[in-house]
Structure 1
């Protein structure tokens, strides 16, 4: 037997009221939790092995943020598959602010173009916190190379299409795609030689096995100081403090060319905005600290500190940029 119409109406009203109360209480609970944040250790996931640029920057941030927040920030290295394993882990973590990724240009903007079955979507699954810094690629040659400038490289590449070669730390990484972007913009043809890691790439230039490379400042630092390699140009809009005499690519003749190995802090989408804002504030506070800035200068990282909205816009632009390069070059990792 069906209940009377008045009873059904009352029941619907009660259910509707409960749903509305729940909807109103959810943001309030999130705000209350954000106000107490953090109440337990924060895990900063580094999707690469210890010792690289991302790891160095991540440990600097973790230490300084922990001191400022009077909290524990634990670095958790989760390497593998060009950083995509660590990124996927964070994408699927609870959106509570206690799992943060420090992703790089590869796993956050190049991977969508390289993998047709990527298990996460950087634009859909993450809430950017801050573009922490950029490590511009540096056009580098060995000490015995006859190439003395960007103009020399382009002229040599035009004279012998496909003869000049460049190393990378692996197919699909910043060194590889940075060189492909150069080839496209300079309208030349060059050959790619992938190595297993950054160190062998530098060794190949020193030994004369490769002709030029787009490598990060931290990668070439020791060999550059020893005079074993030469830096011809920096792929950024400004010169590096650690290389004040090395021109930008625009200054050297290739207008508008930029290629950075950048680092982006992000949390799973759905993380309460007050927590995102708190994390951003702490990163912005940590970057200008003298000990942090000195270390970043020494490894060729330019601190950025973009806010969440600007960082999200930057990420969309980079995904589109590198997807276009990858498609034009016909590169895939599937």
Structure 2
């Protein structure tokens, strides 16, 4: 028996050595990594991506190159990422818009946020604040609700379009309070804030980072924050749940995704490396400067979170009677 097995074993070892020498794959990462951002330079997603990319490059020993592909609520860049090779050399910065709510607003999306991607790391959460002009007669959320109960659709709120955090915050507010407001859509959140300060609209659910200069300048009043807990940077501002909107929680988010078939060992390593980056004190300070509260959940926890977000916002949007176009 031994004499018959030995030649077979030698042949197998020789074949293995030949195959390994001719077809061995270089260890990942062996070349630069592309990090697609489906929004324009200068925004929160771009800022987060450049911060993560810088530190990830140092940790991986390869350049991580940010590639901005803006357009149509992040759809164009997300399509590019979905169609990229799943080899560990393409990442993308995904948000609540691109990876949770776009399917409820756009029928011909060109990608599936679940089937076409694997979540890598939930970098952080972004809260909004409900702000009104400094001269507004409203000093509390309860007063706003009372006004809307007495006069449905009598108040306006500004947004940067369907599926944005401003819009989702307004929809959830209406859903919980059983009220109706009039949405005024702008090309960007900054334009809505200009009109808010000028008294052309009644309120905006704006991100903390975008609203902060006008808060500090006393040009707006803050009635509440959309997070589940009060934020360290605005400790005196009540959550909307505390202010009279039970169970209200709306936070947009910044995460990193990869094409769906990216090998799990690569996804797991990327998740760990990005979590280590997010844990750095200087990175946390810079994220908070962008209005992003650091998180760092890796693939499995981020996957569960993403699916819960899709279910939550799908119901809110459906209850609002919004149809995908």
Same fold? TM cut 0.5: yes
Aligned to 1:213: 204
1:280 aligned to which of 271, 275, 287: 271
Cα-to-partner distance string for 1:36-55 (whole Å, 9 max, x where unaligned): 22111111111100111111
Structure 1's unaligned 5+ residue stretches are 1-20
Equivalence for 2:143: 152
**Contact between 2:47 and 2:290, CA under 8 Å: does it hold in 1?**
no
Structure 2 partner of 1:15: none
Q: CA separation in 2, counterparts of 1:108 and 1:263?
A: 10
User: Contact 2:103–2:324 (CA<8 Å) still a contact in 1?
Assistant: no
Written as runs of structure 1 = structure 2, the 5 A alignment for 1:143-292 is 143-292=134-283
- Structure showing the higher helix proportion among its residues: 1
Q: 1:244 to 1:181 in 2, by over 3 A?
A: same
Question: How far apart in 1 are the matches of 2:266 and 2:278?
Answer: 19
SS at match of 2:121: strand
Aligned to 1:328: 319
Mapped to 2, the partners of 1:95 and 1:229 lie a distance apart of 46
Structure 2: give runs of 5+ residues left out of the alignment. 1-11
2:28 corresponding residue in structure 1:
37
- Provide the TM-score with structure 1 as the length reference: 0.88
Runs of 4+ in 1 over 4 A off after TM superposition: 32-35
Give yes or no for the alignment of 1:316 onto 2:311: no
CA apart distance, 1:163:
0.6
Per the alignment, in what secondary structure is the counterpart of residue 73 of structure 2? helix
Distance of 1:209 and 1:74 partners within structure 2: 41
| C-alpha RMSD over aligned residues | 2.0
The Cα of 1:139 is off from its aligned counterpart by 1.1
CA contact (8 A) 2:279 2:296 kept: no
Aligned residues: 307
d(CA) in 2 for partners of 1:166, 1:330 = 18
Q: In 2, Cα distance between the equivalents of 1:297 and 1:263? A: 12
